[in-house]
């Protein structure tokens, strides 16, 4: 027998007015996408069209660097050496000299702030041995993230010999969302101006929206003539973190205008909802080594919903009255469903927080004898 508890948990919590979700205005770019940082798609425009990302490619280079940091393969103090090949890159660079060494910290700063093509290749070579091996990792990681329209050819986004990196706004948004899972990167992408080489070389961020858009945190701009002006722009307000991808805008100004329009649309029409856990009370366990087990949400991550639906939310919690031992930690024992106007917005498994073993026969016999003698619980 299951019990279901319903509650309109957000009617007074979010304090928003129901209204029709407006349409996005016309964009200048060939392709665009707006995502919540948790990976939810909120808006798309030709988002599966394969285009060149230019230096926005470097979000994957930075992602693999941050993941290597997390695994302990490198530290921010690890010294990276510029090879002859890395130092031969054109475009934006810090003019690495062959054999010159900079820390990974300074390399990441040069990549995120100054879009340094030479540093991107140097980091790639250090992490994988060769840029070609690193590119294999880039493409494998993209596939793991569900990027179906992406093929990287290098670590920096420049055209190759008869080849070019191709991707989509949808894929760049997915990679950006994954990069945001490493908040340390925002300490680099959010820098406006800084320096490296002991203050001898100045850096100015290519992302001018840092000064013009409230709440902007990064991530990366890109431009080559064939790709046009591209950006993956991230911003946060009131706990809502968004990713706006713009590809093949005709000018810097239209790139900024499109990214701003996407972010404005997101902040105006969406809000964050955190599933409640306060109604999850312990469930009695039959014939268990513990009398109860605590239910918890398997994934309590917040979701993003339209503001027009926020005032009519209902949370339905389905759990058994009791559960039979043994119970495994992480075992699903119920589910929580969030609806609005009859539409299901979210379903989350409810699992056991801890394992509860089953009582063995001797223990059961002792407990039975104790009850007979009146010494046991009643």
Q: Is the separation of the CB atoms in 357 and 325 below 8 Å?
A: yes
Closest Cα partner for 264 from 252, 272, 256? 256
pLDDT per residue as tens digits for the range 173-220: 999 999 999 999 999 999 999 999 999 999 999 999 999 999 999 999
User: How do strand 332-340 and strand 313-320 relate by DSSP bridges?
Assistant: antiparallel
Q: Is the separation of the CB atoms in 190 and 211 below 8 Å?
A: no
What pLDDT was estimated at residue 18?
33
Closest Cα partner for 338 from 269, 268, 296, 277? 277
What pLDDT was estimated at residue 377?
45
Beta bridge partner(s), residue 41: 35
Q: Which of 9-23, 26-40, 306-320 has the lowest mean pLDDT?
A: 9-23
What pLDDT was estimated at residue 273?
85
**Separation between Cα atoms, residue 18 and residue 20, nearest integer Å:** 7
> What's the average model confidence in pLDDT over 285-294?
89
3-state DSSP assignment of residue 324: strand
Half-sphere exposure in the Cβ direction for 323 (13 Å, CA): 27
User: How do strand 323-324 and strand 283-286 relate by DSSP bridges?
Assistant: parallel
pLDDT of residue 151 exceeding 50, the answer is yes
pLDDT per residue as tens digits for the range 296-327: 988 777 788 888 887 788 888 899 999 998 99
What pLDDT was estimated at residue 303?
81
> What's the average model confidence in pLDDT over 147-169?
94
Two structure tokens written together for 277: 């856990």
CA angle 306, 307, 312 (to 5 degrees): 100
pLDDT per residue as tens digits for the range 56-82: 999 999 999 999 999 999 999 999 999
What pLDDT was estimated at residue 364?
53
> What's the average model confidence in pLDDT over 30-41?
95
CA angle 362, 368, 373 (to 5 degrees): 125
What pLDDT was estimated at residue 359?
80
How many Cβ atoms from other residues are within 10 Å of residue 367's Cβ? 14
> What's the average model confidence in pLDDT over 153-176?
94
3-state DSSP assignment of residue 178: helix
Q: Is the separation of the CB atoms in 42 and 161 below 8 Å?
A: no
Closest Cα partner for 55 from 118, 147, 104, 141? 118
**Separation between Cα atoms, residue 300 and residue 272, nearest integer Å:** 13
CA torsion 146→185→203→133, rounded to 10°? -50
Q: Which of 31, 44, 83, 115 is catalytic?
A: 115
pLDDT per residue as tens digits for the range 347-369: 889 999 999 988 877 655 665 55
Q: Which of 44, 58, 164, 176 is catalytic?
A: 58
- pTM equals 0.82
Q: Is the separation of the CB atoms in 246 and 262 below 8 Å?
A: yes
pLDDT band at 345 (very low <50, low <70, confident <90, very high): confident
Q: Which of 31, 55, 232, 241 is catalytic?
A: 55
**Separation between Cα atoms, residue 176 and residue 62, nearest integer Å:** 10
Q: What is the CA radius of gyration of the chain?
A: 26
Helix axes 58-71, 104-114, angle to 10 degrees: 160
What pLDDT was estimated at residue 346?
79
**58 tagged catalytic:** yes
pLDDT per residue as tens digits for the range 224-283: 999 999 999 999 999 999 999 999 999 999 999 999 999 999 999 999 988 777 778 999
Which residues in 144-183 are b (16+ Cβ under 10 Å) and which e? ebebebbebbbbbbbbeeeebbbbbbbbbbbbbbbbbeee
Two structure tokens written together for 7: 């509650």
**Separation between Cα atoms, residue 140 and residue 147, nearest integer Å:** 10
């Amino acid at each position: 027998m299951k019990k279901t508890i319903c509650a309109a948990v957000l009617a007074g919590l979010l304090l928003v007015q129901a209204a029709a979700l407006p349409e996005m205005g016309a964009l200048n770019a060939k392709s665009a996408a707006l995502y919540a940082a948790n990976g939810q798609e909120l808006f798309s425009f030709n988002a599966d069209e394969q285009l060149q990302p230019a230096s926005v490619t470097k979000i994957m280079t930075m992602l693999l660097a941050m993941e290597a940091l997390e695994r302990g393969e490198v530290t921010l103090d690890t010294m990276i050496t510029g090879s002859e090949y890395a130092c031969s890159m054109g475009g934006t660079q810090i003019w690495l000299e062959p054999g010159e060494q900079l820390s990974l910290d300074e390399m990441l700063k040069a990549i995120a702030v100054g879009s340094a093509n030479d540093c991107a290749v140097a980091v790639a070579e250090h992490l994988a041995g060769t840029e070609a091996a690193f590119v294999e990792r880039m493409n494998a990681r993209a596939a793991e993230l569900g990027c179906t329209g992406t093929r990287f050819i290098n670590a920096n986004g420049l055209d190759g010999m008869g080849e070019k990196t191709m991707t989509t706004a949808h894929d760049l948004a997915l990679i950006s969302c994954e990069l945001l899972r490493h908040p340390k990167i925002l300490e680099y992408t959010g820098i406006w101006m800084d320096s490296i080489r002991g203050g001898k070389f100045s850096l100015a961020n290519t992302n001018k929206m840092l000064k013009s858009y409230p709440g902007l945190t990064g991530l990366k701009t890109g431009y080559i003539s064939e790709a046009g002006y591209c950006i993956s722009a991230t911003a946060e307000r009131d706990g809502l973190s968004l990713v706006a991808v713009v590809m093949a805008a005709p000018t810097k100004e239209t790139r900024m205008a499109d990214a701003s329009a996407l972010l404005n649309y997101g902040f105006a029409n969406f809000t964050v909802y955190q599933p409640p856990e306060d109604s999850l009370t312990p469930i009695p366990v039959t014939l268990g080594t513990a009398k109860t087990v605590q239910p918890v949400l398997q994934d309590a991550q917040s979701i993003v919903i339209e503001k027009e639906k926020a005032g009519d939310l209902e949370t339905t919690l389905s759990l058994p009255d009791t559960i039979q031992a043994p119970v495994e930690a992480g075992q699903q024992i119920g589910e929580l469903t969030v609806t609005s106007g009859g539409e299901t917005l979210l379903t989350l498994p409810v699992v056991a927080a801890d394992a509860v073993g089953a009582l063995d026969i001797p223990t059961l016999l002792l407990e039975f004898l104790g009850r007979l003698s009146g010494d046991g619980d009643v």
